[in-house]
Structures are given as C-alpha cells and as structure tokens.
Structure 1
Amino acid sequence: MVFLGGGMPWYAQFGCGGGGCDRIRYMKVVLQRVSQASVDVVNELGDLDPTFDLQQIGPGFLLLVGVTDEDGDDEIAWLAHKILRLRVFEDEQGKMNRSIQDIGGEILSVSQFTLFADVRKGNRPSFVGAGKPEHADIMWIKFNEALRSGGVAVREGRFGAHMRVGLVNDGPVTIVIDTADRH
C-alpha cells in the first residue's frame, strides 16, 4: 500500500476508504496528434450505419472525450481553451511551438464514457463515474461548439453509438488532459 506523509493511504486524499470511493470526477480528454483520423458508426448487425456519413480530418487532433455528471460550462470553457492553445505542433526549428489554430488543423471529437472505467475490483470495469447519457451528450455538444468558436473545424462521432475510429498518430503525441489539472 502506498502512503502519503503522515502514514495516510493514497486514497485518503480523495475521501476514499473501506469498500468505496466518493472522489470527485472531472471531465477528461485523451488528445492524440494525428496526420489523419476518421470515424464511422456501426449498426446492430455490425454493418456501416447508412444514416451516418464518415467523418474524416487531416492534420490535427483526435479527441476522446469523457464527461461526468459534475461537469458544466466552466469545465468546458477551460478545456476548450487549453486544447485550442496547446502548442504541440512543430515550428520551423522542429520544436513543439505551434497550436492547432496556428497550423489551421482540424479536430475529430469522439465521446468516450469508458475513460472513467474503474477496474479496482474484479475483472469487469465499472463505469459509474461516467456522466449520465442525457447530461454527457449535452456537455459534449457544448464542448464541440466551444472548440468551433476558436475557429477550428470540428467533426464528430455519434454520441452513444458503436463507432470505428481510425487514425494515423503523428509523433506519436498523446496527452491526457483532465479538468482537475486547472485547480
């Protein structure tokens, strides 16, 4: 068991103990710098869903977005601002010094409740930390609109659907951004 100063278990800082944990969850994004990415939707038969047009981007970000029930407009604004200004594209000297806005890149946003998987007990993940679908869908739409307001083209998967995501990592550069980081 890992202890913090004073002999406290690591989980004590989150109000966890015994058999459960009531730690606060935060909106989370897994950002991947890509040279291209795409998403399509699969229907219940395992075929491509004809009601969904393949969404594709060129250079930019693939975002896997997880939302909790506690997330609101403040988390969306902070996260969108951070992503739009994150300097992870190379400049003329080969240094990561340019943002997605600087390069005119695109974003592919995919809702991903499994980012909140809890695997501490047993072998089947629990997703109780993920936001309820009716809230998470609204927050994801607002998040995508906040990104668009920064002048970046944003393509989307379909909320709650079985999707196939394809990507070509560039770097690779993969960054996990959690709104807890703003505190």
Structure 2
Amino acid sequence: MRVVVQRCKEAKVTVDGTVIGSIGQGLMLLVGITHEDTEKEAAYLADKIAGLRIFEDDEGKMNRSVTDIGGAILSVSQFTLYGDCRKGKRPSFIAAARPETAEPLYERFNAMLRDKGLVVETGEFGADMDVQLTNWGPVTLMLESQQPPKTETP
C-alpha cells in the first residue's frame, strides 16, 4: 500500500457537485492498493498514520499526532499512486489492484483508523471526484507498507 499524507487545515471531496466528505484540521490521505496488499499492510499503515507526529507542539516542533490534536482524516482511494511512467508517455496501472480487491481493503483500512478513535470521512470508491484541501505547512509525506530495497552507500 502507498499513502500520500497531507497535513491540512481543511479538506473536502465532491462527487457530481455534492460534498460527500469534509474535515477541518487533520490529514488528507490518498490511498493506493496493489495486488499483494493484505490486512497486514493496512494495519501497519493505519497504526503509522494515527501516530505520525507531524503537528506542532507548544514549542513549534513536529511532535503531535492527528490523534493528539483531535483532528480528522479524509481518505480518498487513488489507484494512480501505482501508475508506472517509466516507459512511454502513458502511465501503466497494471500494479494497481483491481476494484474488487482494492475496495474491500480500502474500506477495512478506513475502519482500522476509526477503531483508533479517529473521525474518518471518505470519497466514493471509483467515482470521478474533485478533491480540495488547504495543505498546512505544506507538509506532504509518502508512506509505504513495504520497505524499499536498501541501497549501498559508498
């Protein structure tokens, strides 16, 4: 799984002109799922995101989590996070899980975040969505459930 995490002052997602998810301060998540992902990867990322210390404390240091500040999460499925642009000019999405696999895991991931006491709003899986946010900082991070291969340092 891949999740783009954006610290935000507010965020919302609209489908066909109707706002279907909206939050104040918290985290905007773009969630990508690949074929090998299971509940294990979803649990790892839900735990990491709930405890990720990217909000400032009283001394101005990033030392507080979304849970600590009482923030919310807007989670939007994003199969294009697994787009491969290495060959040609049109991305290949072969690494993205098919909807029948991805949707249940995406829903389970959101449920895991809710189980941690977080308010979680969502987009609509597979819909053409308009997403707006006020990125706070800006702070944007990419989290992955699988560690990339280690490279040797000279």
Equivalent pairs, count: 149
Post-superposition CA distance 1:30-85 (Å, at most 9, x none):
0000000000113xxxxx2xxx5431100000000000121111101100000000
Counterparts of 1:1-183 in structure 2 under 5 Å?
27-42=1-16, 48=17, 53-181=19-147
C-alpha distance in 2 between matches for 1:53 and 1:119:
32
- Superposition RMSD on alpha carbons, in Å? 1.3
* Higher relative contact order (CA closer than 8 Å, sequence separation 6+): 2
Q: Give the Cα–Cα distance (whole angstroms) in 2 for the partners of residues 64 and 150 of structure 1.
A: 19
* Paired AA for residue 15 in structure 2: V
Identity of aligned residues (%): 52
Other structure's SS at 1:180 match: coil
Structure with bigger strand share is: 2
Which runs of 4 or more aligned residues in structure 1 lie more than 2 Å from their structure 2 counterparts after TM superposition?
A: none
TM-score by length of 1: 0.79
Task: Kindly name which structure, 1 or 2, has the bigger radius of gyration based on alpha carbons.
Answer: 1
1:182 positional shift:
8.8
SS at match of 2:146: helix
How far apart, in 2, do the equivalents of 1:41 and 1:145 lie? 22
The one-letter code matched in structure 2 to 1:64 is L
| Structure 1 residues without counterparts, runs of 5 or longer | 1-26, 43-47
Task: Could you tell me which runs of 5 or more consecutive residues in structure 2 were left unpaired when the two chains were aligned.
Answer: 150-154
Decide whether the 8 Å contact of 2:12 with 2:19 is kept in 1: no
Scaled by the length of structure 2, what TM-score is found? 0.93
Q: Deviations over 1:120-160 (max 9, x none)?
A: 11111110000010010000000000000110100000000
How big is the shift at 1:180? 1.2
